[in-house]
Amino acid sequence: MKTRLRTGMAGIAALALLVGLVGPASAAILSATPSTISGATLDITLATPASPLGVSPEVYYDDASGTYYLYPTSLQPSAYTSTDGVSWTKATDVALPPGFDYSIVRMGPGSYRMYYSGVSFSAPPTVQCSKQKKQLYYATSSDLLHWTQQPGPIFDDVGCGVPVVITKPDGSYLLFYNTITSQHGIHMATSPDGLTWTKRDGLVADTPDLVDPAPLAMPDGTYLMVTSNRGSGGSLQQLEILSSPDGLTWTKRAAPLYAPKGARALDPVLKLVNGQLRVWFSYVVGSDDQQARISSAVLTLGKATTVAKPGAPCTKAGAKATYKGKKLVCTKVKGSLVWVVRR
C-alpha cells in the first residue's frame, strides 16, 4: 500500500513587482531560481516492502522505450526496470562494473557512460568517514544493462558520499562529490571530456552540512539540485533543495525540502522526465542502511515573478542583471525569454 505525503513551504509572500510587469509564471515553469525553489513541494510515494533495497540510487529514463532503469548500491548489486518509476522489476541479465554509487550520462544514440566509485585497497584511507580511499571510474554500455569497465581511475579521490556527473549544454562536464580532505561538504570539478578533471575551490552553497548531490541542468539554462544533509544537531537526515544560474554558484533554500519524522531521507537522484521533475531517494527508519528502500516523488517548483526590464530585453537564458535593487535572471517562460526576480 502506497503512503503519499505532501511537504513544502505553505505559501510565499508576494514579491514587489517591477515596472513592465508581465505576470506570475505558473508553478509548472521549469526554471531553478531562489524564488521557484522557495515554494517547491514534493508529492511522495514512500517505499513499500516490495520496493528495492539499497542506497545511492541512480535512475536513467530511456525515452525511446519509455523504460526507467534503477541501479541502487546494495550488498547484491542489481539493476531494475520500470514503466512508471514507482514499481520495479529486477533485471535478470545484467553485468555491472565492480563498484557502487553509479551515475549515468548519455554519450549518443545507443551509447552510455556509467561513472562509479571504487575502493583502492592498496592506498591508505584519505577520509575518516569511510576509512578507505574511494576513486572515480567509468564503464560503457550500448543497452544500459551490460557494462564494460574502462581503464581508471579517472579521478583520484571522491571522499565520502555519492559522486555525480552531469553534462552542460556546451558539452562540458561537472562532477559533484563529497569529501572532508580539505573541508566537509559538496565539492566540484570540471572537465571538457568527462575523463580529465580540474578541481574547483570552495563548497556548493558554502555549506559544509550538505551531502549526496543530485544536480540537474534545466531547459532554460539554470541548474537545480536536491541533496541530503548530515542530520547534524540531533536531527535525522533530510532532503534539501538548491538553485544555480550556471551550475557553479549555488543558493540553498533555508527550509528542508523533506524532513520525515522518525526516518532518514538520503541519497536523492533528480531527473526531468517528459516535462516532470522526478526524485528518487533512500528511505530508512533507524540507522541500518541495509534496510533502506527506494522511494520516489514528484517535485513541483514554486511560482516565479516575471518582469520586463525597459530597454534591456533578455536574449540569453541564464543571463543575470540588476534592476531597481532586484536581482534578475533571464528565463524561458512559456516559450519566451523574460526577466525573473531571484531571491
Digitized pLDDT (tens) for each residue of the chain, 343 residues in all: 344 454 443 332 222 222 233 333 333 468 999 999 999 999 999 999 999 999 999 999 999 999 999 999 998 899 999 999 999 999 999 999 999 999 999 999 999 999 999 987 777 766 666 667 889 999 999 999 999 999 999 998 888 778 999 999 999 999 999 876 667 899 999 999 999 999 999 999 999 999 999 999 999 999 999 999 988 666 799 999 999 999 999 999 999 999 999 999 999 999 999 999 999 999 999 888 999 999 999 999 998 766 666 667 788 888 888 887 778 888 876 567 788 876 5
Residue 10 falls inside a structural domain: no
Q: What total number of domains does the chain contain?
A: 1
Residue 219 falls inside a structural domain: yes
The pLDDT assigned to 133 comes to 83
Question: Are residues 85 and 79 in contact, defined by beta-carbon separation less than 8 angstroms?
Answer: no
Residue 283 falls inside a structural domain: yes
The pLDDT assigned to 310 comes to 60
The pLDDT assigned to 20 comes to 30
The pLDDT assigned to 157 comes to 87
Residue 323 falls inside a structural domain: no
Radius of gyration of the chain (CA): 20
**C-alpha cell of 232?**
547534524
Name the residue range of residue 169's domain. 50-298
**C-alpha cell of 121?**
585497497
The pLDDT assigned to 316 comes to 84
On whether the pTM is more than 0.95, the answer is no
Give the CATH number for residue 107: 2.115.10.20
The pLDDT assigned to 217 comes to 97
Residue 7 falls inside a structural domain: no
**C-alpha cell of 329?**
535572471
The pLDDT assigned to 130 comes to 61
Question: Are residues 40 and 30 in contact, defined by beta-carbon separation less than 8 angstroms?
Answer: no
Residue 44 falls inside a structural domain: no
The pLDDT assigned to 87 comes to 97
The pLDDT assigned to 170 comes to 94
Cis preceding-peptide flag for 215 (omega within 30 of 0): no
The pLDDT assigned to 334 comes to 59
Calculate ∠ Cα 29-260-175, nearest 5°: 55
β partners of residue 40: none
Distance CA 140, CA 24 (A): 44
Closest by alpha carbon to 215, among 194, 242, 191?
242
The pLDDT assigned to 232 comes to 65
* C-alpha torsion 165→276→59→40, nearest 10: 70
Residue 149 falls inside a structural domain: yes
CA 143 to chain centre: 23
The pLDDT assigned to 14 comes to 26
**C-alpha cell of 242?**
538548491
Residue 328 falls inside a structural domain: no
